[in-house]
Amino acid sequence: MRAYLLVIAVTALMCAAATPAVRRLALHGRAYTPRRLRDVHTRAVPKLGGMAMVFAALTGFTVAGTIPFMDGIFADSRPLHGLLVALGVVVITGLVDDLWDLRWWGKLTGQIAAALAVAVGGIRVEAMPVGWIAVGSELAQIALTVFVIVLTMNAINFVDGLDGLAAGVALIGGSAFFVYSYLLTRTIDQFDYSNLATLLMALLVGATAGFLPYNVYPARIFMGETGALLIGLLLSTAAVAVTADVGALGGFRFRNVPAYMPILLPLAVLALPLLDLVTSVIRRTARGSSPFTADRGHLHHKLVDGGYTHPQAVALLWLWSFLVSWGAVSLNFVDDAIVLPVLGAVLLATAAVVMHPGRRRERRRRRALRRGEDGPA
């Protein structure tokens, strides 16, 4: 564990140190996020913050390669080379989009290319987690892996709409995934605790922890497309690696980790982004628009439009992510009969608050009228 904590600390410190420099570069190059009708922010904010996250992740990855504890991860270089190629594609795609605003098909092409690099490198969906049905065809493995990675990238991209929201969701979910992956590794291998999925989550936790102080409301810098693609790449690659590891070892043969966790946890970590992605696609398709057409119908938009302040909306969505992801992890430590009822009740209460912001808007309007202000606050 100490080796992973060292990687997290190095990555976080490097991201915290690099972000101000990247911000100055973005200001000098006038790389701003434009003010659009669907946006919540009211001023031009520099982007390119994802470049600091990439730099920090690469630094943490390099440090991990020098730690003897993690020799098992670096023993086979082919998957790592594929991952690094994918990271390069992410940087190019994200940087071009952040500077010149790519069309949707250009972004999708870059996402597919990055996912293909991971799959061709050998990190693939080798078994379906439901019943651990083996995927024997190499072409099918690659196709499923590409689908998972591209889906995750777009899910993170869709939820990146409020200051600190995507970075906070990634930090919360990534930390839960980190604990789970480390626990799983200790359970299935008593001699080697090094694991690629755990390392990727350590890099994600470090990068988002170092970036978040600059990204919370009012944000001084945005992560941009590069940061969203990086988060999606790390999360999805770790999820694929975990299911492959468990499937290869006979997923039901470990004592301390429920057998359904490799299915449940990735979905729990991505619950909020996936929910927003699915509802956005349905909403846009129903009105005859492209699923990739941007609008102001996301959940975070509805919270702000309904009466919550910017920080309140982010805090509620962070809370939702924490309950779902860490609630899933807690099933490893606490009896299901205790966790599930408590978690269900808290989730229902949180959902009721999240889905009914209109009362807050009315109260704010009445307070504004009492103060003699014109219109809603």
For residue 226, give the nearest of 363, 114, 93 by alpha carbon: 93
The answer to the question of residue 104 being in a domain is yes
Could you give phi then psi for residue 375, rounded to 5 degrees?
90, 180
Cα(111)–Cα(10) distance, integer angstroms: 28
Cα(10)–Cα(14) distance, integer angstroms: 6
For residue 223, give the nearest of 5, 82, 15 by alpha carbon: 15
The answer to the question of residue 330 being in a domain is no
- What is the extent of the structural domain holding 276? 2-295
**pLDDT digits over 114-143, tens only?**
999 999 999 998 776 655 567 778 999 999
Whole-prediction pTM: 0.84
The answer to the question of residue 301 being in a domain is no
> Is 215 annotated as contributing to ligand binding?
no
What band does 255 get if pLDDT is binned at 50, 70 and 90? very low
Entry field: residues in the chain: 377
The answer to the question of residue 315 being in a domain is no
The answer to the question of residue 323 being in a domain is no
**pLDDT digits over 50-101, tens only?**
999 999 999 999 999 999 999 989 998 999 999 999 999 999 999 999 988 8
**Look-up: residue for tokens 């998972």?**
148
Beta carbons within 8 Å of 359's beta carbon, 6+ residues apart? 307
What band does 251 get if pLDDT is binned at 50, 70 and 90? very low
The answer to the question of residue 342 being in a domain is no
For range 145-163, the mean pLDDT: 86
38 pLDDT more than 80: no
The answer to the question of residue 55 being in a domain is yes
Dihedral of the alpha carbons of 94, 119, 237, 93, in degrees to the nearest 10 = 0
Crossing angle, helix 224-248 and helix 104-120, to 10 degrees?
A: 30
Cβ-based neighbour number of residue 143 at 10 Å: 17
Q: How many domains does the chain fold into? A: 1
Are the beta carbons of 41 and 219 closer than 8 angstroms? yes
Helices (H), ranges, the chain:
2-28, 49-65, 71-74, 77-100, 104-120, 138-159, 165-188, 196-215, 224-248, 261-269, 271-286, 299-306, 310-330, 336-355, 358-370
What local confidence, expressed as pLDDT, does residue 365 receive?
53
The answer to the question of residue 198 being in a domain is yes
Cα(364)–Cα(23) distance, integer angstroms: 35
**pLDDT digits over 188-242, tens only?**
666 677 889 999 999 999 999 999 999 998 899 999 999 999 999 999 999 888 7
Could you give phi then psi for residue 260, rounded to 5 degrees?
-85, -5
